[in-house]
Amino acid sequence: MNSADKVASYGAALQSLNDNGQLRRLKSRTGIDFASNDYLALASAPRMKMAVTAALEAGTPIGAGGSRLLRGNCEEHESLEAEAAKFFGAETTLFFGSGYIANFAVLTTLPQRGDLLVLDALVHASIHEGARAGRAEFCESAHNDPRSVENAIRDWRAKGGMGRIWIVVESVYSMDGDFAPLKELVALADRYDAFLMVDEAHASGVYGEQGRGLTARYEGCENLVAVHTCGKALGAAGALVAAPRVLRDFMVNRCRPFIFATAPSPLTAVAVQEALLILQQEPERQQRLANLIAFTHREISVCEDWRPPESQILPYIVGDNARAMTLASALQARGFDIRGIRPPTVPAGTARLRISLTLNVGENDVRAMLDALRDETKDGAR
């Protein structure tokens, strides 16, 4: 077999993706930011830079040098976890290198053989991957439908399922921008003696008092596990799993992605801790974003037949993959960094623009972007 034959199947797969309008390519960041998850503009905030610089000058290492159970457990990690537990109102937190790893870690460690995971159909890919790799059975429920969750639980029990139930949702959905019915899901979890795992990736820093997220009012419940991503509104990287102490201790002892991975950079822990402090000391950031979200939705309601959910994530559904990417390219050419999202990231037939609102833009930028979107779709390009 020659070298070309060895990679021929990969080339054929890429060609198939291209034929279906699904081939991905890396693109540099250019234009006005309507694509990032840097909701509070903390990623380049002077205070964040100063905190990391001061930590470096004080001797904080760039790398941890090992796993947390070896020499990689640094005081910066422990300080962050203690402060984050206080901030989010949780008994404990545990710091992971990314939101993807945190979701995967929880779902491959805490649910046991004989348990059932009920996943909302639109949860993050990391949650689906964790469910597939874990010990428990899993099924999907219809999106944001507590009755579907309950039916899945009842059906499983009727077939003899005896283990623990885990209901797994996002508080704000990353591609649709809508909100989970947390009140009803908490009640369901209590009724069926189930755990509720909530991915707060797009709510942490944005919603709740001082940005504590949408699970803050339920923290302290022994059946709640919340994952707070630190690379979006918190402007850094990593993720904090907020959970009762017994679950944290279990993960420290049994979680392979925690035990066998080099610990996150201590400098990242410093940055995240500074971000939590900024949320408390600069509440105007959260308020400014809330005002920008409200302004944008008012502008849309006046001129458009488009009605996205009332969050900072604005999905503009196009449908066809190629048309979505063509529209994204047209807006990029006009100076707006807006990306097209295609299956399998979203369901087939729902290719879209995912427009996000951050403090990296102002009201004039929003007006200009909406004007450009109208111009590019007025001839039926949508």
Residues with a catalytic annotation lie at 37, 124, 170, 174, 199, 202, 232
Provide the H-helix boundaries in the chain: 3-19, 46-57, 75-88, 99-107, 125-133, 146-158, 182-191, 245-254, 256-259, 266-281, 283-303, 321-333, 363-377
Q: Which two tokens stand for residue 28?
A: 């540099």
Taking the alpha carbons of 304, 143, 20, 28 in that order, is the dihedral positive or negative? positive
Q: Tell me the residue type at 21.
A: G
CA atoms of 251 and 215, how far apart (whole Å): 21
Burial of 330 (C-beta count, 10 Å sphere; 0-12/13-18/19+): middle
Q: Which two tokens stand for residue 127?
A: 């949650």
CA atoms of 132 and 107, how far apart (whole Å): 9
For residue 368, the tally of other CB atoms under 10 A from its CB is 16
Q: Tell me the residue type at 326.
A: T
Do residues 259 and 251 make contact, with C-beta atoms less than 8 angstroms apart?
A: no
Q: At residue 96, what are phi and psi to the nearest 5 degrees?
A: -120, 165
- Chain-centroid distance of CA 93 in Å reads 17
Q: Tell me the residue type at 279.
A: L
Cβ contacts of residue 126 below 8 Å, gap of 6+?
99, 100, 101, 102, 103, 104
